[in-house]
Structure 1
């Protein structure tokens, strides 16, 4: 009986007992956190290009939602005993490079970038979340929850197309460029971070994804992007 009680009282094994898994999760939270604070900053800049006060407020609200997601990730890193700014630092160059290469030239391009970029990132990290421990998975999914502003973006873009059909062609090309750059950056991040890559291909008690599964994942990402473009009234 005493032996049984001792077994019940003994700590249960945790995925975080694996140092590689722990490092991978810290890297994942770090890249997510930097992505959120970067999106907040970019949306704040986009708000300055808004054509009227109503749209300025809508975009500012989107920026606030991104910052709230950042706070959740920052707090979890602190709970793990990690410096959130050190966790984010390795991804600064990647995000800044992406933003330099996809700087919007006007208000509509900024909206499409926010909508398409956020959607692609959410799809990718949801795929990764399937291979995480329950606590981390729940946090990741919470930070990827919709901000409720996608309808606003769709309405704005469709109204612009209705007013000038030439806008559709330009924004469709812009959407394709965003897709290519985003996938390239995602692949680069995973390739450069061994622990993060290990989490995706399998952690403790997790099968991970083989090469075929990774290929299917990118197919799903592409299909979801096409659906978002269609919602905007644009060809993928």
Structure 2
């Protein structure tokens, strides 16, 4: 009987405690009630979502260049991970009452331009692009995430988790260089080109989107980035790129 009383008692307080469970969402709601900040968040989620779906498309196309079935499956797995990330971002926009496709559409031209200028010539270039390009994007958005409200920050960080392909890419690139050292020089140049285009894309996005840049220079209850902080941010991104290239056995 005592156990009966104990098992029914907790359920009553649980119901009674339900309203306070909503209270942690209050600060987030007030942040997103600021129209300028909200626009910046919608733009950020839109650009991330477009980046994920275009990465998925790109990897599906690159898989056609795979030399064998194992490689094709590895690249398809990367594409599936990118699509999973896209779904998280899309669902968050819907949760906010936004049309995810309207939020993504403004970034079609920027990503289209980037992918036209960085079309891989072969399977190895495609792998390096996936490894380096995704890493650079993740570094950039992770830096921005520090200036976001907790819910948006968590969403962004969750979608920047690795797609589980780094070891496969490192293996493939290092094996190719070992088989033909000349491949290393070509891929190193390719990596530098990717870095240049990715940084230009990031600067274009921030320069063209007022609300997105407003989030960077200061959001609700968050400090902004001054010029010194922006300089340090790009230094960190460049250093991380150098380390990534070194993992592949390439000079940055």
Same fold by TM-score greater than 0.5: yes
SS at match of 1:148: coil
Report the Cα offset of residue 17 of structure 1. 1.5
Shift of 1:148: 1.4
How do residues 172-191 of structure 1 correspond to structure 2 at under 5 angstroms? 172-191=188-207
Aligned pair count reads 227
Q: Equivalences for 1:82-97 in 2 at 5 Å?
A: 82-97=98-113
Runs of 4+ in 1 over 2 A off after TM superposition: none
State the 1:171 CA deviation: 0.2
Out of 106, 112, 124, the residue aligned to residue 108 of structure 1 is 124
CA distance, structure 1, for counterparts of residue 89 and residue 249 of structure 2:
34
Distance 2:157 2:147 in 1: 12
Question: How many Å apart are 1:12 and its aligned residue?
Answer: 3.9
CA-atom RMSD in angstroms: 1.0
Indicate yes or no: 2:68 matched with 1:52.
Answer: yes
1:192 corresponds to which residue?
208
The structure that has the greater radius of gyration is 2
Partners of 1:12 and 1:155 in 2: how far apart?
47
**How many Å separate the matches in 2 of 1:108 and 1:180?**
19
Is 1:70 the counterpart of 2:86 in the alignment? yes
- Partner of residue 4, structure 1: none
Aligned counterpart for 1:29 among listed residues 29, 33, 45 = 45
Counterparts of 1:61 and 1:200, CA distance in 2: 33
CA distance in 1, matches of 2:144, 2:162: 17
Shift of 1:208: 1.2
Q: What's the offset of the Cα at 1:170?
A: 0.2
How much has 1:174 moved relative to structure 2? Answer: 0.2
Match of 1:127 among 143, 156, 159: 143
2:162 alignment partner, SS class? coil
Corresponding residue number in structure 2 for 1:154: 170
1:8-46 Cα distance to aligned partner (Å, 9 max, x none): x8x945211210000000000000000000000000001
| 3-state SS of paired residue (1:217) | helix
TM-score, length basis structure 2: 0.89
5+ residue gaps, structure 2: 1-22
1:128-159 Cα offsets, whole Å, 9 max, x none, are 00000000000100000012110100000000
Partner of 2:7: none
Structure 1 residue ranges without an equivalent (≥5): 1-8
